[in-house]
Amino acid sequence: MMERRDNIQSTLQVTPVTKPSLMLSDQVRSVLAAARNTAAVDQRIVQVSVPVAALDPVQWLREQDADIKIFWEARDDQFFTAALGEADQLIAQGNDAFPVLKAQVNERLEEAQEGVRYYGGIRFDQAGTPEWPVAGNFCFVLPRFELQGHDGQFFLCCNLIPGEDMHREEELLAALAGIQFSTHKLRGEVPLPIARHDSPNESGWRGMIQEALKMIRNGHPLEKVVLARKVEFSFTEAFDKFLLFKLLREATPNCFHFYFQVQDAYVFLGAPPERLYRRNGRAIFSEAVAGTGMRDDINAKDIELGHRLLLSDKDQHEHAFVRRSIEQVFRAICTDITMDKAPSLMNLNIGRHLRSKFHGMLRPSISDVDILQALPPTSAVGGHPKKEAMETIRQLESFDRGWYAGPIGWMSNEAAEFAVAIRSGLATDRKLALYSGAGIVEGSKPVDEWQEIEQKIGDFIKALGLDQRRAKY
């Protein structure tokens, strides 16, 4: 388990305070008073926190009055944050986005208090068209307030940049006083959609797959490409995005969960199973996830389907590209590399994948931004070779992927974790666009790849109250 600044808090039961906003206000006043009494401008980020009683974090976030709302939940280490507001934001666009991000991260996090995290995402394709509603090639937010959960204990946190915030005391204290702590349960129903639009439709999909297979077979350098579909549902009325997210979260155990509302009325949300990487100090962990199979409620049949996936030449072939692409990056940025000798099964509620795990020690000069520039997109969401796969995606797909299939997660000075933003959707007032893709290699069949994507969006379909057979209109 990743070490954190709250290791002592995690091992000792901390008694929740009865007036968390009032207690946290006292800490905020103390930090800002110290900043005003210091001659030098203090740009070091400070996080103050108090223990609180357990809450439904999604319901808590829904009740708050803030333009920016973020939820992040790790797949397997009992950490979540429900965050609101903005203490700082990193954003840039253009060809020099990564150097800008690296400079900003170095400046902000180098002397930040341990545990301070920036949450955000990066576009799948840095050269893509700027149609995605979240502006810039990347966006990372240092939230103003966070409800954090660590191993079953809850903390209300406030992030401060004393040198910038020392003149905002009244504003910050008013925001703290306005935080709600209701014990109401989030209930209700997501309305049924009235229409569905597929981009591309089944005929267009067959054409895309056939075109990709023609390249793979006819001496083109392309060996694998992951092609995506967008499935857009329309509603007659506005729907509760937090309720949709809660239903999705309940339907997808053993997955990452994210909810990013960082611009206007757009919400990017998802439940990806795949970790891009996790860093703990200089140790880095990643995984190749590719090759998809079905599951069954009957145990004997489920075991048989798992064996079938492990023995599938087509899926092993697809998986091998991802293993090689991650291994190649690890050899460039790491020492002491270990990796699984063969893929194992990654079982989910709906479906399963082949997975191979990687571990290494980062070379001294390598930063999180270097990793984010080198590792994605892996062959699991792009293809192989990377350059030719990206060119093919730009040529054949009719929509901008935006953050879909890009890195999404958080980074701090001492640690970081990013998922691959698949199994995701973009929600607006009366529309929900779902994104999912399938790896195309020699042996792929358009009808099978169509059905694979239908399976992958099944978690959202379930959250919408629809089953697979009722998903078309």
Per-residue pLDDT tens digits for 12-21: 567 776 788 8
| Structure-token pair, residue 425 | 């959707």
Asked if residue 306 has pLDDT above 70, the reply is yes
| Structure-token pair, residue 336 | 């002491």
Per the CB < 8 A criterion, the answer to whether 411 and 118 are in contact is yes
Asked if omega into 407 is within 30° of 0 (cis), the reply is no
Asked if residue 49 has pLDDT above 70, the reply is yes
Task: Give the model's confidence band at 1: pLDDT under 50 very low, under 70 low, under 90 confident, else very high.
Answer: very low
Per the CB < 8 A criterion, the answer to whether 441 and 317 are in contact is yes
What was the pLDDT predicted at 136? 73
Q: Among the listed ranges 152-161, 228-237, 324-333, 449-458, which one has the minimum average pLDDT value?
A: 449-458
Q: What is the pLDDT of residues 57-79, one digit of tens each?
A: 999 999 999 999 999 999 987 89
pTM confidence score: 0.92
Query: Residue for token digits 């008013």?
Result: 174
Q: Which residues contact 183 (CB under 8 A, 6 or more apart)?
A: 55
- Give the angle 274-276-280 at the CA atoms, nearest 5°: 120
